[in-house]
Amino acid sequence: MAERYAFILSDRTGITAETLGHSLLSQFPTISFKTLALPFVDTHDKAADAVRQINETAAQAGARPLVFATIIDDEIRCLLASSEGVFFDLFDAFLGPLERELGMASAHSVGRSHGVVDVAKYTSRISAVNYSIRTDDGVNVVEYERAAVIIVGVSRTGKTPTSLYLALRFGTFVANYPLTEEELERGRLPGQVLKFRAKLFGLTIDPERLHQIRNERISGGRYAELRQCQYEVAAAEAMFRRDRIPYLDTGAMSIEEIATTILHRANLRRDLL
Amino acid sequence: MAERYAFILSDRTGITAETLGHSLLSQFPTISFKTLALPFVDTHDKAADAVRQINETAAQAGARPLVFATIIDDEIRCLLASSEGVFFDLFDAFLGPLERELGMASAHSVGRSHGVVDVAKYTSRISAVNYSIRTDDGVNVVEYERAAVIIVGVSRTGKTPTSLYLALRFGTFVANYPLTEEELERGRLPGQVLKFRAKLFGLTIDPERLHQIRNERISGGRYAELRQCQYEVAAAEAMFRRDRIPYLDTGAMSIEEIATTILHRANLRRDLL
């Protein structure tokens, strides 16, 4: 497999540059990219140091490293763009056209997108995270009144990370409830959960994949057996259909995909925090 | 405050397009942007529907909406670009130059960046999340051997969301330990925590802001009193200095900033999952 170096450069966290680079590089699956993040490049000295690293890598690798950047300061950006790397800068590409369209100069200030936030937003996000933890795995059902969504599903369908992702990224209050063997046999959710039917969202998964995932966790034992996984998934899906709970086959979806699909299907607000 | 509509369009989750748009719009703080996310626009019908929404918004608002997009399919992208919106597409801007540099065509496949992941990566990420929950708030100290970082600090300095963010985004194993009043008085962490000194990372905060944050949670009471916050912060910082625990004043930093700063300072790997 061909190899190539890629740098993520940012004057702040590097989260935007990383997302940008990751999206673009994922379109070249036959190349193995070695990425190196250089966040907080906010002085001339640090920029000169980054240029040195890029140039050394270029010399050693015998190919120009790709550089994905979000650098607001024009001078620092020029310095970085002078490296041996192939420079792709988000602000460089889009800020000019955007300024012309909006008829004003941009603030040109560093780290605004993942930076300072007001106390109310910050605490509402933390509240959502704490809510997710408090109501994780079926505990504190008494707090379901406050949930925007209650995710239900058998063990290892991604309920917990999806809830936390939604809390962290969008500040959504999400509880999650695991279907127990007893409930699967009865074919019925308990009344205290079912009364929130309008907020319920089911997760299901291919039994083969569930088997693989459970095996990675605990090898051997009935829990991870394919037959057990097949039984649980079939019983859960039957329950979702009968109680008209919308559900999603997570297949090989990532947490991000599951989370944004739930927001989308449940028609929930999607505000970045 | 001037208002402007912005659409986030994607053939998949919209996470990249959202990050792109958010970063760019944050450079225009005097405009109030109303954003609307349209994820999973992956057919001609959905694209036509999106164009209709954009055009209706343009007509109603009397100004062209901004459109931030990540659309892989050329036909769908062309269709969307024909709307009344001002179109900014990540792939449109960067994929051509990248293809030329790499000397190959891109895969042109949808949803690769936040999409399908292999079972091993998926479970390692879930393991990190479960580890964070299991070791949240000072419990299960016996599992500290496995941590890459152990965050310490007084209540409400952002330990829990930072740990979870690191687990979800980078698969890092992060525990967190709250400093109790007793420990602050003694000026000493317990031995079972201190023995992992090399992994400890302190969080501290401006007492005024801590006071504000705690007040948002529980109004009144000694816990949120400014004097109490001042005492705790001073005692914690004294402890960090004496035990040579690196620490970060989170000031008005966001969770993303705190998390990436810790990775950076602790020299930890930063691989997107």
B261 vs A: CB within 8 A: yes
For residue A79, what are its two tokens?
A: 């310095």
Residue A193 touches chain B, beta carbons under 8 Å: no
Same fold, B2-102 and B119-265: yes
Q: Which residue of B has its CA nearest to A119?
A: B213
Q: Give the other-Cβ count within 10 Å of B238's Cβ.
A: 12
pLDDT at B120: 78
In whole angstroms, what is the distance from residue B105 CA to residue B95 CA? 9
Residue-by-residue DSSP string for A53-121 = HHHHHHHHHTSPPEEEEE---HHHHHHHHTSSSEEEEHHHHHHHHHHHHHTS-----TT-TTS---HHH
Look at residues B241, B27, B235 and name the one whose alpha carbon lies nearest to residue A90: B27
Q: Which chain A residues have a beta carbon less than 8 Å from that of B264? A: 39-40
One-letter amino acid identity for A90? L
Is B24 in CB contact (< 8 Å) with chain A? yes
Model pLDDT, residue B119: 76
A-proximal residues of B, 52-71, CB under 8 Å: 64, 66, 70
Q: Tell me if A111 sits within 8 A of B22, measured CB to CB.
A: no
Q: Which residue has the tokens 């659309």?
A: B71
Measure B55 CA to nearest chain A CA, in Å.
17
pLDDT per position as a tens digit, B162-190? 999 999 999 999 999 999 999 999 999 99
The answer to whether the CB atoms of B260 and A31 lie below 8 A apart is no
Q: Is the pLDDT of residue B193 over 90?
A: yes
Q: Strands (DSSP E) along A154-211, which ranges?
A: 174-178, 200-204
DSSP string computed for B200-260? EEEEE--HHHHHHHHHHHS-SSGGG-HHHHHHHHHHHHHHHHHTT--EEE-TT--HHHHHH
- Coil vs helix vs strand at A228: helix
Judge whether residue B88 has pLDDT over 80.
yes
**B interface test, pick of A72, A102, A121, A127 with most B CB neighbours within 10 Å:** A102
Secondary structure letter of residue B135 according to DSSP: T
Contact: B126, A158; criterion CB under 8 Å: yes
pLDDT tens-digit series, residues B3-19 = 999 999 999 999 999 99
What CA–CA distance (Å, rounded) separates B144 from B194? 11
Residue A50's pLDDT is 98
Closest by Cβ to A15, choosing from B39, B40, B256: B256
* Distance, CA of A123 to CA of A117 (rounded, Å): 10
Asked if B164 is an interface residue toward chain A (Cβ–Cβ < 8 A), one would say yes
Closest CA to A17 of A100, A80, A98, A106: A80
Interface contacts A/B by beta carbons within 8 Å = 219
Residues of chain B numbered 100-129 and touching chain A (CB < 8 Å): 101-102, 104, 106-109, 111-117, 119-120, 122-123, 125-127, 129
Tens digits of pLDDT across chain A (273 residues): 789 999 999 999 999 999 999 999 999 999 999 999 999 999 999 999 999 999 999 999 999 999 999 999 999 999 999 999 999 999 999 999 999 999 999 988 766 666 656 777 788 888 999 999 999 999 999 999 999 999 999 999 999 999 999 999 999 999 999 999 999 999 999 999 999 999 999 999 999 999 998 988 777 789 999 999 999 999 999 999 999 999 999 987 889 999 999 999 998 877 765
In eight-state DSSP terms, residue B69 is E
Residue B99 has pLDDT above 90, yes or no: yes
Give the Cα-Cα-Cα angle B138, A177, B15 (nearest 5 degrees): 80
Chain A hits for B90, CB-CB cut-off 8 Å, are 20, 23-24
CB-based contact, B93 to chain A, within 8 Å: yes
CATH fold label, A2-102:
Rossmann fold (3.40.50)
Flag if B27 and A95 touch (Cβ within 8 Å): yes
- Whether A18 sits inside 8 A of B158 (CB atoms) is no
pLDDT at site A2: 87
Domain ranges of chain B: 2-102, 119-265
Q: How much is the pTM?
A: 0.89
Residues B24, A70: C-beta atoms closer than 8 Å: no
Q: Which of B71, B94, B214, B218 to mutate to test the interface with A (most CBs of A within 10 A)?
A: B94
CB atoms B113 and A4 under 8 Å: no
Please give the residue of chain B at the shortest CA–CA distance from A22: B113
Kindly tell me the sign of the dihedral angle through the C-alpha atoms of B172, B173, B178, B183. negative
Which tokens in the block code for residue A207?
């039994």
Q: State percent of chain B over pLDDT 90.
A: 82
Whole-number average pLDDT of chain B: 92
Tell me which chain B residues have a C-beta less than 8 angstroms from the C-beta of A250: none
* pLDDT score at A63: 95
Q: How far from chain centre, in Å, is Cα B76?
A: 30
Q: Do A270 and B122 touch (CB under 8 A)?
A: no
B260 close to A (CB below 8 A): yes
At B62 the pLDDT is 94
Residues in chain A: 273
Q: Report the pLDDT value the prediction gives residue B220, as an integer from 0 to 100.
A: 74
User: Any CB–CB contact under 8 A between A253 and chain B?
Assistant: yes
CATH code of domain B119-265: 3.40.50
More confident residue, B144 or A252: B144
Cβ–Cβ gap B264/A4 under 8 Å: no
Note whether B26 contacts A113, CB cutoff 8 Å. Answer: yes
Check: CB of residue B179 under 8 Å from CB of residue B154.
Answer: yes
